[in-house]
Amino acid sequence: MHRTHTQAEWIDRAREVLPAAGFGNFDASIIIARGQGSRVWDEDGREYVDYLIGSGPMLLGHGHPEVLEAVFEQLPKGMTFFANNAQGIALAEAIVEAVPCCEQVRFVTSGGEADMYAIRLARAYSGKSKILKFEGGYHGMSAEAQMSLAPSRIVNFPTAVPDSAGIPQGVADEMLIAPFNDLAAVASLLKEHRDIAAIIVEPLQRIIPAQPGYLKGLRDLCDQYGVLLIFDEIVTGFRLAYGGAQERYGVVPDICTLGKIIGGGFPLAALGGRADIMAHFDKATVGAEKWLMQLGTLSGNPVASAAGLKTMEVLQRPGQYERLRDLGERLMQMQSKALSARGISHRICGDPTLFDIYFTDKIPVDYRSAKHADPKSNEIWNRVLRAEGVFKSPGKLYPSLALSEEDLAQTEAAFLRAATALADRAG
């Protein structure tokens, strides 16, 4: 008989072969065995309502039957080719049709890779070297992206602080850091530095919303100073709306990056933009001096493309985004009701499609203000939720279309218990 391993045994094995016993993504003390619909199970058989959903890709839930059917249809035809394939071309067509800024796209494998190429593309097109990003903004793991993502020491803007070892000082010298939601700071930097190739921004920075007029203000400033605007839509693409943040907020960047949902749960991401900018991937058009080399073994993978195409097809059906927003709003209300009834200061921050709580009485508007008054409260909140069968990131809650009324009832009960635990601690 085949012997199954306990979660503790898997954790012991991980310690031997993985630094910090994990993949670097999530809490290494839990080993997920399987997922189905809105639920996941760990290796000891414990069941959870899943609000992590793979950090965003599984908007339809795990094992959606139509997505599985599309994948199973592609698998016997071939898993990867390192060559053009019909599924990838059809997915590119669907993205161009859906996303306002995308006249053409290039596929890569991860969101971080897409952001890296977007920054390089902006430099190739503009001939300028500096990049302006926002403190606390996440754009993957490239050297540029690891500047002032989560700085442990506060410095004056626009100084860039590396968040990782192994990054040369020369990278920091080419990065300018500004506070999110501060147009005056951006305007000042653009006026002072005429060698800025692009501004890269998350339209919803982690879970911090852009204030009214802020994204339009960035667009206007970029136009005024001849700077490219990059929207990092790895998270927001096909989540805030079918056309992403560009559709939701009515602001169109020059370049955007996409990931997560477009791969339907498989490794796939893309960057897209105006055709004259994307032409820098075409050596015959721009010449060797301005050509941006880009290739990847799994770029445009047909299995991932098939999964992404079917996911996008389902999302286009009437009522999907209305239902997603309704689910998110109900979850927000449940949390606020449980905490307010116990007199616990909090702010629910984000969009109904992606949000979480800050335990504070202040409104988070940027990295420095988006903090818990007492970080221990967030730790207790998330620990109780996990114990009650709610699986989420410590700083994000992703609703999915697979959620049922039973899931919501279990989640509401977990919110009440977590709020009680915080009130008991305060009392």
Domain parsing of the chain, residue ranges: 31-63+320-426, 65-315
Residue partners of 49: CB distance under 8 A and separation at least 6: 38, 39, 389, 390, 391, 403, 407, 410, 411
**CATH placement of domain 65-315:** 3.40.640.10
Does the pLDDT at position 371 exceed 70? yes
- Positive or negative, the CA dihedral 29, 354, 111, 265 is positive
Alpha carbon distance 86, 38 (integer Å):
31
Give the type of residue at 369: S
Question: Which among 239, 258, 255 has a CA at the least distance from the CA of 247?
Answer: 239
260 belongs to the catalytic site: yes
- Reported as half-sphere exposure (CB side, CA atoms, 13 A), residue 308 has a value of 32
**How large is the average pLDDT for residues 157-179?**
95
Q: Which of 260, 310, 366, 367 is catalytic?
A: 260
The residue-averaged pLDDT of 145-169 equals 93
Alpha carbons within 13 A on the beta-carbon side of 19? 2
Mean pLDDT of all residues in 259-269: 97
For all residues of the chain together, what is the average pLDDT?
Answer: 97
| Catalytic entry in 42, 115, 182, 232 | 232
Alpha carbon distance 387, 379 (integer Å): 12
- State the burial class of residue 36 (Cβ atoms within 10 Å of its Cβ: 0-12, 13-18, 19+): middle
Q: Give the Å distances, CA to CA, from 394 to 132, 161, 168, 284.
A: 28, 24, 31, 48
Query: 396 an active-site residue?
Result: no
In degrees rounded to 5, what are phi and psi of residue 22? -150, -175
**Which residue is listed with tokens 């770029």?**
299
Q: How confident is the model at residue 23 (pLDDT cuts 50, 70, 90)?
A: very high
User: For the packed helices 65-74 and 302-315, what is the interaxial angle rounded to 10 degrees?
Assistant: 150
128 in catalytic set:
no
The mean per-residue pLDDT over the stretch 260-267 comes to 97
Mean pLDDT (whole number) for 279-292: 97
Question: Does pLDDT of 1 surpass 60?
Answer: no
The second-level CATH assignment, the architecture, of 31-63+320-426 is: Alpha-Beta Complex (3.90)
What is residue 2's predicted lDDT score, i.e. its pLDDT? Answer: 62
pLDDT, mean of residues 85-110: 98
Residue tagged active-site, from 48, 117, 125, 138: 138
Statement: residue 5 has pLDDT above 90: no
> Binning pLDDT at 50, 70 and 90, where does residue 261 land?
very high
At 300 the pLDDT is: 96
34: pLDDT confidence band, cut at 50, 70 and 90? Answer: very high
